Every structure is written in structure tokens, then in C-alpha cells.
């Protein structure tokens, strides 16, 4: 499969500001577009990447582990994933960074090496983060950072001297809670996220991030239809109302329950979930997943690593977050056959985009891209809550 040159088109900040000025006189929201790209040749590598992220980063790299100085392990994982990329300028250089709400450090240098210019300086502190599906270590710098023209002048960034699991991208811009930076930089309790610096430097008033993802259509292998909104939400990106739920746990956590496939209840127990832009699939608790296989005549396909069906499903898959029910229809949860090449699938069978969590401990549900491409998401640090709404 031909690798895609990663570029991001920018929605001009002037237009974004003009369209988003609020009536109460607050600083306007600003927007930047995202590009979705595929580096996949085998769908099993998507599953392996996501599983390593779930079982490594989310399970082991907890606040308690970082406080105690415990190390985190990361096995060899092929970097074949779908990614939403933000073209990010650090100093005078431009990097292609993965947009990740499951981590909070911003770092560069995995592919394109960082060259400090006049605006950047080393703090002399070491920085190290493990993601389960990859890791990096290096030195902390402060420098100007700009995404789609939305800029800060003094942001903490990690400059990698060593990185694994990030071939084809340059690093990560982290949009998780600040707590996740604890213990990652030597001599610092926590470091400010990009969103926090936007607020402290007066670029935006409210620490609120709106995220619009957009599924690839037809046989396209890249798309620039995604969007970040800094400081608020884009009312044109969703329909109906945004439903908010209080954040739980260390990450952008939510409680998830009432898993159903059609009229069959898969689980009514409350699961610990995470809304995560850095995970491709939708992970659900093992008990619900096993019952789903039975109810849908699906089975785990060893060739693809995904769920394959002997008969194409026609029932909706639903679950609730904060008392609101969210639905994925068959056309949404089944991988389009036009996209099989981008998933590295050679069979003509039907495949589902969610999988079981493998019996791991909390969290055991991840609402990844396969869900977020149909639901607009809001990460509201100001009010410590997560919002979801039907994507426009």
C-alpha cells in the first residue's frame, strides 16, 4: 500500500475567529483542521497497537505508578494505525503530530529531528513517557507552538532522543488532563498542556476543546475533514444538544452501561470507560463482547484480528453514557468494503469495528475513533466534564 504524505490544510484563523465570536464578549474560539491518514497493511496490527495501548498505557502508566517511580513496559508493536494528524509548528519547524486525548505531553522528534532556534531553549530536564504502544525519552524544551495558526510562545515540549512505535509521524500533541504529565519530566511535578498554555497566554478564555472526526468515505485513504476547536465548540459540527457527563478517573473517563445489540442486553453493569482520540477501535467489556458474539453469529477472525460475521448483521449496537443512549447502526459499525484495502483486509466477509477488552482491569471500555467519527466530542477542563453529540 502506498504511504501517504501527511499534510494538514489550515482553516484560516481569521475566518474561524470571525465565525465563533461569542455574544458575551469572551475571547473567540479558534479552529484548525485535522487530517486522517492510514499506514495500515494488516488489520491485525491495528488490533495489536490498540491492545498494547489499552493494556500498557492505560493499565500501567497510572498516577500511582508514576509517583512510585515504577517503570512501564512496551512490547514491539507495528506502527500501522489510523491517525488524526495536526500539522504543528514548533519554533521554525513543522511537525506532523498525533492528536491524543489519552495523554498530555506534547513532544516531537520521532521522525523529523528537532533543531532549536532562537525561540527555543532547553530546560536541561529529562522527559520520558510510555504509551504501551510506543514510548519516547529525551529532553524538555520550551518553545513557541502553533496549530493551524493558533499559537503560544512558551510551551513545554519533549524533544525525543529515542522513540519507538511512531514511524511515519513526528510525535504527539497531548490533550489529556494535566495530571497525566505528573512524573514525566524530571524535577517537575506537572507541566502545562498546550490547552493550558493557550489559556494562560490569553489566546482563549476557556480550557475547552471540541473535536470533530470524519470517517474516510469511498476508497479514499486520507481526508482533511476533521477539526479541532480551541476555547469552545463548533455548533456547525454537531446536531441536537451536547450531553455532558462528569469526568471520572485519571483520563477523560466516563461511566458506560446498558450495552445492547438490537433487543439483546449484553451487559447492564457499569463499565469504566475512556473517550480516546488515539485509539482506532471501540473496546467493550469482555462479558458484553462474548454475549455479542453469541447474539450476532460473529466470531473472532484470526486472519484479521477482527470480528467476522457469517451473516451480515442488521441490528443496532447501543450503550449509554451519563444516562444518554448512543447508537451505532450497521452502516456505521461495519467496515465499508471500499475501505478494506486501507484496513489491510483481503476477505470479502463483513467485519465489526469493536472488540473485547481481553479481560483486563479498569478501564475496560474505550470510545475510540470508530465511535468518535459519528459523535462530536468535547473535552471541557474548565468544568471537568466530557460532552458528546451526534456529528453533523
Catalytic residue list? 100, 276
Counting every residue written for the chain, the total comes to 392
Cα–Cα distance for residue pair 96/331, rounded to 1 Å: 31
- Could you tell me where the beta strands, DSSP code E, fall in 248-316? 253-261, 264-267, 271-275, 282-284, 298-300, 307-309
The CB-side HSE value for 82 (13 A sphere, CA atoms) comes to: 29
Q: Residue 356: which H helix or E strand, with range?
A: strand 354-356
- Could you tell me where the beta strands, DSSP code E, fall in 171-214? 171-174, 208-212
Largest CA distance in the chain: 62
Q: Is 25 exposed, middle or buried (0-12, 13-18, 19+ CB in 10 A)?
A: exposed
Cα–Cα distance for residue pair 4/159, rounded to 1 Å: 25
Q: Residue 333: which H helix or E strand, with range?
A: helix 330-333
β-strand 365-367 against 282-284: which pairing, if any?
antiparallel
Nearby residues of 327 by Cβ (< 8 Å), 6 or more positions away: 316, 317, 318
Cα–Cα distance for residue pair 295/307, rounded to 1 Å: 13
- Ordered DSSP codes for 57-90: IIHHS-HHHHHHT------------EEEEEEEEE
Cα–Cα distance for residue pair 313/290, rounded to 1 Å: 16
Cα–Cα distance for residue pair 32/175, rounded to 1 Å: 14
Query: By the 8 A CB rule, do 307 and 352 touch?
Result: yes
Unique residue bearing C-alpha cell 458506560 = 256
Amino acid at each position: 500500500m502506498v504511504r501517504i504524505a501527511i499534510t494538514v490544510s489550515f482553516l484560516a484563523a481569521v475566518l474561524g475567529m470571525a465565525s465563533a465570536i461569542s455574544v458575551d464578549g469572551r475571547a473567540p474560539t479558534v479552529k484548525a483542521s485535522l487530517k486522517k491518514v492510514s499506514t495500515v497493511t494488516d488489520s491485525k496490527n491495528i488490533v495489536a497497537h490498540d491492545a498494547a495501548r489499552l493494556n500498557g498505557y492505560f493499565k500501567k502508566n497510572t498516577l500511582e505508578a508514576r509517583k512510585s517511580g515504577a517503570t512501564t513496559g512496551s512490547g514491539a508493536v507495528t506502527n500501522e494505525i489510523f491517525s488524526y494528524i495536526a500539522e504543528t509548528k514548533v519554533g521554525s519547524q513543522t511537525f506532523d503530530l498525533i492528536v491524543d486525548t489519552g495523554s498530555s505531553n506534547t513532544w516531537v522528534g520521532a521522525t523529523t529531528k528537532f533543531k532549536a532556534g532562537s525561540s527555543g531553549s532547553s530546560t536541561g530536564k529529562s522527559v520520558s513517557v510510555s504509551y504501551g504502544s510506543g514510548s519516547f525519552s529525551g529532553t524538555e524544551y520550551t518553545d513557541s507552538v502553533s496549530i493551524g495558526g493558533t499559537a503560544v510562545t512558551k510551551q513545554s515540549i519533549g524533544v525525543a532522543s529515542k522513540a519507538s512505535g511512531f514511524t511515519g509521524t513526528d510525535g504527539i500533541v497531548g490533550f489529556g488532563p494535566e495530571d497525566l504529565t505528573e512524573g514525566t519530566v524530571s524535577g517537575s511535578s506537572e507541566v502545562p498542556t498546550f490547552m493550558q498554555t493557550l489559556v494562560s497566554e490569553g489566546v482563549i478564555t476557556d480550557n475547552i476543546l471540541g473535536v470533530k472526526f470524519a470517517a474516510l468515505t469511498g476508497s479514499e485513504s486520507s481526508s482533511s475533514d476533521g477539526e479541532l476547536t480551541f476555547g469552545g465548540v463548533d455548533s456547525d459540527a454537531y446536531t441536537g444538544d451536547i450531553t455532558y457527563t462528569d469526568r471520572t478517573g485519571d483520563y477523560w473517563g466516563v461511566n458506560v452501561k446498558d450495552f445492547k445489540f438490537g433487543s439483546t442486553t449484553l451487559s447492564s453493569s457499569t463499565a469504566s470507560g475512556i473517550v480516546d482520540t488515539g485509539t482506532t477501535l471501540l473496546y467493550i467489556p469482555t462479558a458484553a463482547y462474548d454475549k455479542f458474539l453469541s447474539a450476532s453469529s460473529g466470531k473472532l477472525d484470526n486472519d484479521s484480528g477482527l470480528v467476522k460475521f457469517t451473516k451480515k448483521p442488521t441490528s443496532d449496537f447501543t450503550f449509554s453514557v451519563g444516562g444518554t443512549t448512543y447508537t451505532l447502526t450497521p452502516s456505521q459499525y461495519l467496515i465499508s468494503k471500499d475501505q478494506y484495502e486501507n484496513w489491510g483486509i483481503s476477505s470479502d466477509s463483513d467485519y465489526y469495528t469493536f472488540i473485547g477488552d481481553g479481560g483486563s482491569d479498569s478501564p475496560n471500555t474505550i470510545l475510540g475513533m470508530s465511535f468518535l467519527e459519528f459523535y462530536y466530542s468535547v473535552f471541557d477542563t474548565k468544568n471537568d466534564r466530557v460532552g458528546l453529540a451526534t456529528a453533523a
